[in-house]
Amino acid sequence: MGYNVAIDGPAGAGKSTIAKLVAKEKGYIYVDTGAMYRGLAIHFLKKGIRPEETEKVIEACGDAEVTIAYENGEQQIYLNGENITSMLRTEEAGNMASKTSAIPEVREKLLELQRGLARAKDVIMDGRDIGTNVLPDADVKIYLTASVETRAKRRYNELTEKGEHCDYEEIARDIQERDARDMNRETAPLRQAEDAVLVDSSNMTIEEVVSTICSYCIG
């Protein structure tokens, strides 16, 4: 069993930025489970399936093989042998992932991949249900959150810097809807594990969050 750090929290809390930096500092492998759900979402989108079409989503899981690899230390997601990493970070893929991840068969499909990685390596794994469901015995559990306003502003800045046109109100609405879906679904909803440390990054710098989390970890 590797040394396992679980980071859960809502969309836009900065989990991946922080987890990558902690991974670098401590020598862990960073595992982004949201990217796996996004990978499956791309498969459903490619097939023209709508998220409400539960039966079709379940059926489509049968011919999707999601695998991960590391190139220059960066996680790459492969869907049926094709590297689709560059397609994952769109709002469309994120929303499709949020909706279809409520389906138990979709979660089941990715569970063993996630657990297998944690058994084999020292990992910092981020997602929604890592501390509560995927790795209930993780060595360290962090629940990383921030206010809706902070998260919406961060995403707005990120998109604007990339030159994408976007609307702050729409982003904030989208984040609230995503929170509601991720927290209220029946299977493995987003919630803070009882033994997780709560870190609210609303008024913290990235460096402060990283050093707080590192202080709980060995390595």
Residues that bind ligand DC (CB under 6 A): 11, 33-34, 37-38, 94, 97-98, 101, 127-130, 178, 182
Q: Which amino acid is at 13?
A: A
Query: In a 3-state reduction of DSSP, which class is residue 4?
Result: strand
Dist. CA 52–CA 1, nearest whole Å = 38
Closest distance of CB 37 from ligand DC, Å: 4
C-beta of 134 vs 210, nearer to ligand DC: 134
C-beta of 122 vs 129, nearer to ligand DC: 129
Tokens at 51, concatenated: 């998220």
Residue written as token pair 């992932």? 97
Tokens at 121, concatenated: 């390596």
The closest of 201, 176, 13 to 95, measured between CA atoms, is 176
C-beta of 33 vs 145, nearer to ligand DC: 33
Closest distance of CB 36 from ligand DC, Å: 7
Closest distance of CB 201 from ligand DC, Å: 15
Q: How far is CA 106 from the centre of its chain?
A: 14
| CB 163, CB 44: distance < 8 Å | no
C-beta of 28 vs 107, nearer to ligand DC: 107
Closest distance of CB 118 from ligand DC, Å: 12
C-beta of 34 vs 51, nearer to ligand DC: 34
Closest distance of CB 93 from ligand DC, Å: 8
CB within 8 Å of 91: residues ≥ 6 apart: 174
Dist. CA 34–CA 146, nearest whole Å = 18
